[in-house]
């Protein structure tokens, strides 16, 4: 059970790591690559805070082995901001108080980034369905839903 | 909650995968989307010695629409099959499986092989009389849904076998379908659920009605329900509800008692049958 050489393109940069096959992508990002923005709550797919983008699609990093995604592109919360600062989704969450303790936030931000790319003007119902796999123990979700709509506005305004 | 160590195999094509699986025998397990297997490994409820990762077998990432139905390859993920709208009942069921993010990884065939008694897709395969194609290095065999689900979390897949595809037959003309379930929280496995297929004759009277129920037995419970040959809107489903309650044998757990599940499955059967009948017109 020798370690595997794995290359992940994380937030646009190719990163090489040597990991055992059983290394979860979440642990690989956090421990091997030092990207602790991706949070880990339940490790069985329920809470959603470990959600990252795999070739643009949101997935649970706690339910993915790093070896499986060798060579693929990963975007974590650290990669959402652009050169001129936070992304519209991040700014909307800050503006609308879409977070309190912030533990769930990386997962919401990644999920919502993909949601708005696929559906730039979601209804309330579509927002709820879209974030239904992410748990938040603080906000009561109202401000998260507001943040998603606000992010949609910001993205539309900024083209 | 970390998975135990295992020997990892990442075959590049089907032939190689089957050879590796043959070599691993009962000590091997297939890794598809990992959305059931990895939680189980994280919880140390399974510790396969060999994992055969099929995520590079792009030849199995297929959804083929034929005259008679839809054949879904082993690497076709829930979200893709849902987007293709290849089969109405399959689409209705997929929207009830977990959350969108889980469906980005989970595979249709993986859900069937996993054979959770509360999972939606096994019921769809069962109510449609579909089948699963299993391959070994020596050849393939098709197993009908009624023989495929053998117990809770148990399917007909033998050591060394790979499920390469599943076949979901189309419903007959003038058919409607529906899937109703009740779960404690959005995206959870259901306490109970019912999918229904109702077929009308040429005069738009109900000719045939069939349901498959989940969460109320070890495997999906299929019932050909008694129905009066009358126009869909005027059919009373009381007898069907009785037949469904009689055919199911739910167990109680911390989420719901057996009696509640039995009550629930009848209510859901009536709702699903009515909705399917309306959709058939
Ligand atoms: C939070 C959460 C909620 C969920 N809710 C639901 C729900 O409401 N309804 C529901 O149905 N499911 C639910 N699931 C389970 C999920 O849908 C799984 O994705 C699915 O059951 C398995 O598909 P997979 O491709 O991920 O299979 P894996 O997890 O990779 O494998 C599952 C099992 O099938 C075997 N297997 C997989 N593919 C093959 C193959 N081609 N040949 C032979 N063996 C194979 C594996 O060895 C393993 O034993 C939920 C999961 C999570 C994490
Ligand atoms: S840590 Fe991955 S879903 Fe909770
Ligand atoms: S902000 Fe604290 S869990 Fe969501």
Query: Is there a contact between A66 and A35 (Cβ–Cβ < 8 Å)?
Result: no
Torsion of CA A130, A132, A135, A138, to 10 degrees: 80
Instruction: Give mean pLDDT, residues A42-47.
Output: 96
Task: Measure B106 CA to nearest chain A CA, in Å.
Answer: 10
pLDDT at B281 over 80: yes
DSSP B210: E
Strands of the A51-54 sheet, one edge to the other:
A13-19, A4-10, A73-75, A51-54, A57-60
Give the percent of chain B with pLDDT over 70: 100
Most B CBs within 10 A among A52, A66, A68, A117, hence the mutation to make, goes to A68
Count: domains in chain A? 2
The nearest CA of chain B is from the CA of A86 a distance in Å of 23
Measured between alpha carbons, how far is A34 from B29 in angstroms, rounded to an integer? Answer: 31
We report the CATH number of the domain holding residue A37 as 3.10.20.30
**A41 CB under 6 A from ligand 2?**
yes
A101 and A75 together in one domain: no
Q: Do B8 and A4 touch (CB under 8 A)?
A: yes
Domain B60-169 has CATH 3.30.465.10: yes
pLDDT tens figures, B248-267: 999 999 999 999 999 999 99
Residue A42 in contact with ligand 3 by CB distance below 6 A: no
Tell me which residue of A32, A26, A30, A28 sits closest to A44, measured CA to CA.
A26
In terms of domains, do A12 and A72 share one?
A: yes
Domain ranges, ordered by start, for chain B:
7-52, 60-169, 175-280
**pLDDT-derived band of residue B268, with 50, 70 and 90 as boundaries?**
very high
B53 at interface of A, judged by CB pairs closer than 8 A: yes
Distance from CA of A62 to the nearest CA of B (A): 8
CB A135 less than 6 A from any atom of ligand 2: no
Please compute the mean of the pLDDT values over residues B110-124 and round it to a whole number. Answer: 98
User: Taking CB atoms and an 8 Å cutoff, what residues of chain B touch A59?
Assistant: 101, 104-105
Under 8 Å CB pairs connecting chains A and B tally to 88
ipTM for this model: 0.96
Cβ contact B38–A62 (<8 Å): yes
Q: Do A133 and B101 touch (CB under 8 A)?
A: yes
Which ligand 2 atom sits closest to the C-alpha of A45?
3
Mean pLDDT computed over B160-186: 96
Residue with CA at minimum distance from ligand 1 atom 13: B98
> Per-residue pLDDT averaged across B210-222, rounded?
97
In whole angstroms, what is the distance from residue A86 CA to residue B98 CA? 31
Q: Which residues of A touch B32 (CB under 8 A)?
A: none
Answer whether A37 contacts ligand 2 (Cβ < 6 A): no
Q: Final residue of a domain: which of A79, A103, A123?
A: A79
Query: What pLDDT, on a 0 to 100 scale, did the predictor assign at position A52?
Result: 98
Residue B104: which of A21, A24, A58 has the nearest Cβ? A58
Q: Which chain B positions have a beta carbon within 8 Å of A55's beta carbon? A: none
The rounded percent of chain B whose pLDDT value lies above 90 is 94
Give the pLDDT of residue B187.
87
- The per-residue pLDDT for A2 is 81
A55 touches chain B (CB under 8 A): no
Q: Does A64 touch chain B (CB under 8 A)?
A: yes
Per-residue confidence at B146, pLDDT binned at 50, 70, 90? very high
DSSP lists the bridge partners of residue B8 as B51
End-to-end alpha carbon distance in chain B: 51
What is the mean pLDDT of the segment spanning B129-155? 97
- If you average pLDDT over residues A19-46, what whole number do you get? 98
The verdict on B31 touching A (C-beta cutoff 8 Å) is yes
Q: What percent of chain A has pLDDT over 90?
A: 96
Asked whether the predicted pLDDT for residue A159 surpasses 80, the reply is: no
**How much is the average pLDDT of B7-25?**
97
The domain boundary, picked from A23, A47, A79, lies at A79
Mean residue pLDDT of chain B comes to 96
For ligand 2, pick from A37, A42, A106 the residue to mutate: most ligand atoms within 8 Å of CB: A42
pLDDT at A1 over 80: no
Q: Which CATH fold would you assign to the domain B175-280?
A: Enolase-like; domain 1 (3.30.390)
Provide the CATH topology of domain B7-52: 3.30.43
A122 and A69 within one domain = no
Q: Among residues A79, A108, A123, which one ends one of the domains?
A: A79
Judge if A9 and A59 occupy the same domain: yes
Query: Which tens digits make up the pLDDT trace of B179-204?
Result: 999 999 888 999 999 999 999 999 99
Q: Which domain holds residue A136?
A: 88-158
The number of the ligand nearest the C-alpha atom of B133 reads: 1
List, for residues A64-121, the tens digit of each pLDDT value. Answer: 999 999 999 999 999 999 988 999 999 999 999 999 999 999 999 999 999 999 999 9
Q: What is the pLDDT of residue B183?
A: 95
Going by C-alpha positions, the residue among B99, B119, B121 that lies closest to residue B187 is B99
Kindly state whether residues A120 and A57 are assigned to the same domain: no
Span from the CA of A141 to the centroid of ligand 3 (angstroms): 9
Chain A residues near residue B34 by CB distance under 8 angstroms: 63-65, 68
CATH number of the domain bearing residue A118: 1.10.150.120
Q: Do B8 and A44 touch (CB under 8 A)?
A: no
Whether A8 and A66 share a structural domain = yes
**What is the CB < 6 Å shell around ligand 1?**
A 45-46; B 29-37, 39, 74, 97-98, 102, 105-107, 109-111, 113-114, 116, 119-121, 157, 162-163, 187-189
Average pLDDT estimate for A6-19? 98
Pairing of strands A4-10, A73-75: parallel
Residue B214: name the closest of B252, B156, B261, B148 by CA.
Answer: B261
Give residue-wise pLDDT tens across range B60-108.
999 999 999 999 999 999 999 999 999 999 999 999 999 999 999 999 9
Q: For residues B105 and B36, give the distance between their C-alpha atoms in angstroms, rounded to a whole number.
A: 10
CA B198, B81, B162, B164 torsion: positive or negative?
positive
């Amino acid at each position: 059970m020798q370690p595997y050489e794995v290359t992940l393109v994380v937030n646009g940069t190719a990163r090489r790591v040597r990991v055992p096959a059983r290394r979860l992508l979440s642990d690989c990002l956090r421990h091997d690559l030092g990207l602790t923005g991706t949070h880990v709550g339940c490790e069985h797919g329920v809470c959603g805070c470990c959600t990252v983008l795999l070739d643009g699609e949101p997935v649970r990093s706690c339910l993915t082995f790093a070896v499986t995604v060798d060579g693929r592109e990963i975007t974590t919360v650290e990669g959402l901001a652009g050169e001129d600062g936070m992304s519209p989704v991040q700014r909307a969450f800050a503006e609308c108080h879409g977070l309190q303790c912030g533990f769930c936030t990386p997962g919401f931000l990644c999920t919502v980034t993909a949601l708005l790319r696929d559906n730039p003007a979601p209804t309330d119902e579509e927002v709820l369905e879209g974030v239904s796999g992410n748990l938040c123990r603080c906000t009561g979700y109202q401000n998260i839903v507001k943040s998603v709509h606000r992010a949609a506005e910001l993205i539309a305004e900024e083209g | 909650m970390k998975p135990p160590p295992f020997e990892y195999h990442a075959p590049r094509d089907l032939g190689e995968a089957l050879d590796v699986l043959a070599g691993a025998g009962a000590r091997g397990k297939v890794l598809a989307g990992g959305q059931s297997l990895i939680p189980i490994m994280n919880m140390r409820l399974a510790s396969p010695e060999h994992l055969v990762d099929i995520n590079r077998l792009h030849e199995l990432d297929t959804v083929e629409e034929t005259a008679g139905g839809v054949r879904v390859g082993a690497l076709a993920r829930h979200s893709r099959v849902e987007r293709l709208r290849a089969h109405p009942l399959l689409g209705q069921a997929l929207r009830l499986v977990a959350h969108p993010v889980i469906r980005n990884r989970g595979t249709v065939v993986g859900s069937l092989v996993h054979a959770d008694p509360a999972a939606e897709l096994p019921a769809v395969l069962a109510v449609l009389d579909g089948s699963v194609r299993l391959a070994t290095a020596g050849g393939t065999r098709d197993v009908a849904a009624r023989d495929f689900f053998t117990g809770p979390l148990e399917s007909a897949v033998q050591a060394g076998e790979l499920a390469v595809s599943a076949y979901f037959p189309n419903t007959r003309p003038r058919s409607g379908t529906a899937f109703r379930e009740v779960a404690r929280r959005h995206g959870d496995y259901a306490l109970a659920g019912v999918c229904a297929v109702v077929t009308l004759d040429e005069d738009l009277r109900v000719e045939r009605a069939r349901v498959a129920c989940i969460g109320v037995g070890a495997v999906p419970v299929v019932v050909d329900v008694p129905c009066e040959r009358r126009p869909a809107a005027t059919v009373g489903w009381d007898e069907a509800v009785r037949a469904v309650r009689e055919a199911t044998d739910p167990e109680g757990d911390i989420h719901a008692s057996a009696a509640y599940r039995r009550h629930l499955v009848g209510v859901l059967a009536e709702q699903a049958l009515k909705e399917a009948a309306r959709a058939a017109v």
